[in-house]
Amino acid sequence: MNINYEYYKVFYYVARYRNITKAAQALGSNQPNVTRVMKLLESALGCQLLLRSNKGITLTEKGEHLYERISAAFFQIQAAEEELNRGGKLVEGTIILGTTETALHLILFQKLKEFKRENPKVCFKIYNYSTKDAVSELMRGAIDISVVTSPFYIRKPIRSEKILEFKDVLICGSAYTDLTRNKRHLTELSGYPWVCLGKNTVTYDMTSDFFLRNGVVLKPDIEVATSDLMVPMIQNNMGIGYVPEQLAEPELEAGGVYRIPVYEEMEARSVCVLYDAKRGQSRCEKEFLAFLLSFPGK
């Protein structure tokens, strides 16, 4: 079949972003030209690859199958070009990274700083998501790697590797220090104001399930959008709440917040790196994954 292979490159970007405009920007082209090429490719293959609507673009079954094959080939070619052109030189390239606020503060800031010091020519595009959205964006190919906190649900070919384990601890501000004197059951604390992440997060779902298993219904007084707001809210006596121990540790040591001892403890959670095992990876992606998995706390 005599098809211009540039057509497949255009299709790859359209399928990756599910958006003609974004694909055109990535290709350095324009929307009409991308649309024209897609019509030519569909005509040459004799099948429909895209479904267009007011909500955007989705792939047909044949489009999904073609994208699976094309994306693997695309990254293999990209990796080969990098190896041939650079040899033993510094790693270069761009990684599109999706992460949660908690994962970012627990480990990713530190690892990005270290990796960039050793690989200054690697660029990152970083997007802040909830765990659910980070997984979803990875599965549809919009990002290269996700770094998220458990719990989460994935299916093949997405693979998960644990890079850090952590526990959530219950803390309070100075107005609630009477709660720190004796160990308590969770049911004794149900009447106090609670601070937690919002209902659209897996952390909220996990906390709510934990409460229900211990005979309490979670009724937060304050819901925050990001984990970095938790400790300041609690420190300012807006309520009590569960926070990853590493995030609370500086203020626990400084005396800004206090740990509440409870009989019921949450199960340990993990920060995990997720990637598509079936899709080819560029050299810089492989280097970054190896770097993350070398973390001594994993």
CATH number at residue 111: 3.40.190.10
DSSP state of 266: P
Q: Are both 48 and 137 inside the same structural domain? A: no
Q: Are both 153 and 71 inside the same structural domain? A: no
Q: Residue 277: inside a domain, yes or no?
A: yes
Q: Residue 80: inside a domain, yes or no?
A: yes
Q: Are both 151 and 173 inside the same structural domain? A: no
pLDDT in tens, the chain (298 residues): 677 888 888 998 888 888 888 888 888 888 889 999 999 999 999 899 998 877 778 899 998 888 888 877 776 676 666 656 555 555 778 899 999 989 999 999 999 999 999 889 899 999 998 898 899 888 888 888 999 999 888 888 899 999 999 999 999 999 999 999 999 999 999 899 999 998 878 889 999 999 999 999 999 999 998 888 999 999 999 999 999 999 999 999 999 999 999 999 899 999 999 998 877 777 888 889 999 988 655 4
The range of the structural domain enclosing residue 38 comes to 5-84
Per-state percent for the chain, helix, strand, coil, to nearest 5: 50, 20, 30
Q: Are both 138 and 51 inside the same structural domain? A: no
Q: How many domains does the chain have?
A: 3
> Which of 26, 58, 84 is where one domain is finished?
84
* Residue-level pLDDT at 1: 61
pLDDT per position as a tens digit, 55-111: 778 899 998 888 888 877 776 676 666 656 555 555 778 899 999 989 999 999 999
Q: What is the distance between the alpha carbons of residues 134 and 140, in angstroms, rounded to a whole number?
A: 10
> Which of 84, 110, 137 is where one domain is finished?
84
Q: Are both 27 and 98 inside the same structural domain? A: no
Q: Are both 218 and 239 inside the same structural domain? A: yes
* Residue-level pLDDT at 73: 76
pLDDT per position as a tens digit, 169-186: 999 999 999 999 999 999
pLDDT per position as a tens digit, 156-167: 889 999 999 999
CA distances from 289 to 97, 133, 178, 189, 281 (A): 11, 20, 45, 42, 10
Q: Are both 173 and 260 inside the same structural domain? A: yes
**Side chain identity at 59, as an amino acid letter?**
L
CATH of residue 28: 1.10.10.10
CA distances from 267 to 28, 226, 233, 270, 274 (A): 48, 21, 24, 10, 21
* Cβ burial 219-257 (10 Å sphere, 16+ → b, else e): ebebebebbebbbebbbeebbbbbbbebbbeebbeeebb
Q: Residue 68: inside a domain, yes or no?
A: yes
DSSP state of 134: H
Q: Residue 17: inside a domain, yes or no?
A: yes
Q: Are both 28 and 115 inside the same structural domain? A: no
Q: Are both 13 and 65 inside the same structural domain? A: yes
Q: Residue 239: inside a domain, yes or no?
A: yes
Q: Residue 298: inside a domain, yes or no?
A: no
How would DSSP label each residue in 155-208?
Answer: -TTEEEEEEEEE-EEEEE-GGGGGGGSS-B-GGGGTTS-BEEE-TTSHHHHHHH
List strands edge to edge, sheet with 168-172: 241-244, 168-172, 258-259
Q: Residue 217: inside a domain, yes or no?
A: yes
Q: Are both 252 and 234 inside the same structural domain? A: yes
Q: Are both 157 and 176 inside the same structural domain? A: no
Q: Are both 236 and 280 inside the same structural domain? A: no
